[in-house]
Structure 1
Amino acid sequence: MSVWRFEAIGAPWEIETSAPLPTAARSAVEGVIAEFDAAWSRFRDDSPVAALARGAGSVPAPPDTADLFATYSALSDATDGAVNPLVGASLESLGYDASYSFAASGPVSAPGDWRDRVRFDGGRLTLAEPALIDVGAIGKGRLVDLVAAMVAQHVRGDVIVDASGDLAVRGRSVRIGLEHPFDPNRAIGVWTVTDAALCASATNRRAWGDGLHHVLDARTGEPVRAVTATWAVAQTAMRADAIATALFFDGGARLAHEWGVQWVRMLTDGRVEWSPGCGAEVFRTTASVEP
């Protein structure tokens, strides 16, 4: 396998292919990533997201708008509003802002009526009031899908796209360790993934200050406390990413069942739970959880 390593959207990436990616393919992948980042990054002053936060009201809708907000709607319903695309200001208030200040000013809840505030029609994305969109709950998974599709247009054979915990596997099987959130040198299990995507989320990633991290309950603006790490396997990385987020809240297991997504999660007290029929080999046994 040939491996191409690079940095993108603030994370290291690896793309493994049966044969080296030609220059044109690498340029195409870089273009896909740049386009997605320019459309959805809340850390860029020139993005539509930033313009809406400044009060633009309406902007040309990025190509992924319908899919992303439809997925957010399902997540919001399943988690009783705990997952919300207008959570950007909540993250900023805890210090996860464009300058990475990590200086918290206190929790701020996201607007619970976000679907009344967000409108997508006629090729325009409109907010009734200024707000900061954050697609972090599903965005990296979506981008992994886009990159994997672009790579498949240029090379035949096996492909692995790994975006630091969110990955897609095509044409082969890969054994993936489930990193222990309290000790990166250990694993709580191994998952063999074949022609599917695996996404993970953990509170020890992007963590700062006294118990602050990037997984927030939008209803309160507070970091979650009961669950510390999640893993999900689905046919697309966006759905796996969505379930990896939903599993931090009540209702996540039910949505996973409805979507046919397998999962594992670790609670902050060290217990491990997994979905019925889960294909992962879990070392720290507790119990499967019915949806």
Structure 2
Amino acid sequence: MTLTRRRFLTISAAFAALPAQASSWQGRAFGADVSITIHGPRELAEPALAQAHQVIRETQRLFSLYDPDSSLSRLNRAGTLHLPDHRFLALMTAAGDAFDRTGGLFDPTVQPLWQALANGRDGAQAVASIGWDRVRFDTSRITLGDAQALTFNGIAQGFATDLVTEVMIQNGLSNTLVNIGEYRGTGGQWAIGLSDPSLAHLGTRTLSSGAIATSSPSALSLGAQAHILHPSARPHWSTVSVEADTATLADSLSTALVLAPRHDVEKISQQAGIRRVTLVSFDGDLTTI
């Protein structure tokens, strides 16, 4: 397994010339660099940042595949999770919505296939376990199908970004940029530079109230295969960037649309909550929908 970057685009926010009443924090979460920038009174920003740190820690304890005690790890081991946290249920619901929106291209049950390929094994047997429609959940219990396991790597960071953004709003802060693997801005004009490790600078996007998420199949290879997996679909694009109302939606769709031909991208991009989709072909051509 050769690791380059999990995401297809390195997205850098322009933090220059911050006003006097500005607060920022940088750290690590979900295996990536994260940051929060706030324009507003420090007496509001400091408690908001403390709450945000707690939300990030709690979100990792729910959805991390690398923490054996996380809710997701326990679900994958046992096949059942009783009395799931309300945030776990919210993410399950969002994943189901993404599955429906994309005609099944977004499917968190690909985890057994990911594990097989990452360990150099043939993935044919793992493919048989894939299928979100076999997952059952309600407020009392989540149950997986036989041999199933979930990964939320294509949606959890966006979900965490939205949770932290809500913390900012609840604390009376309306001019913020949150980056927990994906970006969501409120208030002022946030300049987000888009650059690809192979193609260099691709352009700039401006966020005022919304989110942007990006994915690249070649950012991580599993043997001869890209890391964005599906039992039958293969990548159509080198890079995809989705701008949407929420980071959860942008994250899940940027993952899935890597696997979609252009006519499907155009159809999906017309759905509620999606603002713009940027496609980069394997030849380096850039298309905005």
TM-score, length-scaled by structure 2 = 0.80
Per the alignment, residue 182 of structure 1 pairs with 198
Per the alignment, residue 115 of structure 1 pairs with 133
What 5-or-longer segments of structure 1 have no aligned partner?
A: 96-102, 276-291
Which residue, 137, 151, 156 being the options, matches 1:134? 151
Aligned runs of 1:133-282 on 2, under 5 Å?
A: 133-154=150-171, 156-164=173-181, 166-183=182-199, 186-205=200-219, 207-208=220-221, 210-217=223-230, 219-220=231-232, 224-250=234-260, 251-261=264-274, 262-275=276-289
Q: CA deviation at 1:15?
A: 0.6
In 2, Cα distance between equivalents of 1:163 and 1:57: 28
Q: CA deviation at 1:12?
A: 0.7
Q: CA deviation at 1:257?
A: 0.9
Q: What code does the residue aligned with 1:231 have?
A: S
Q: CA deviation at 1:54?
A: 1.9
Per the alignment, residue 77 of structure 2 pairs with 54
In 1, Cα distance between equivalents of 2:57 and 2:128: 28
Given that residues 120 and 126 in structure 1 are in contact (C-alpha distance below 8 angstroms), is that contact kept between their aligned partners in structure 2?
Answer: yes
Report the count of equivalent residues: 260
What 5-or-longer segments of structure 2 have no aligned partner?
A: 1-21
Given that residues 178 and 188 in structure 1 are in contact (C-alpha distance below 8 angstroms), is that contact kept between their aligned partners in structure 2?
Answer: yes
Percent identity (aligned): 23
Given that residues 201 and 229 in structure 1 are in contact (C-alpha distance below 8 angstroms), is that contact kept between their aligned partners in structure 2?
Answer: yes
Q: Deviations over 1:151-206 (max 9, x none)?
A: 23335341001234x101111112222212414xx22222122211111112343x
TM-score, length-scaled by structure 1 = 0.80
Per the alignment, residue 6 of structure 2 pairs with none
Q: CA deviation at 1:24?
A: 3.4
Q: Say whether 1:36 aligns with 2:59.
A: yes
Q: Deviations over 1:17-65 (max 9, x none)?
A: 1144755333311211121111122222112222222225332222234
In 1, Cα distance between equivalents of 2:277 and 2:128: 27
Q: CA deviation at 1:69?
A: 2.9
More helix by share: 2
Q: CA deviation at 1:231?
A: 0.8
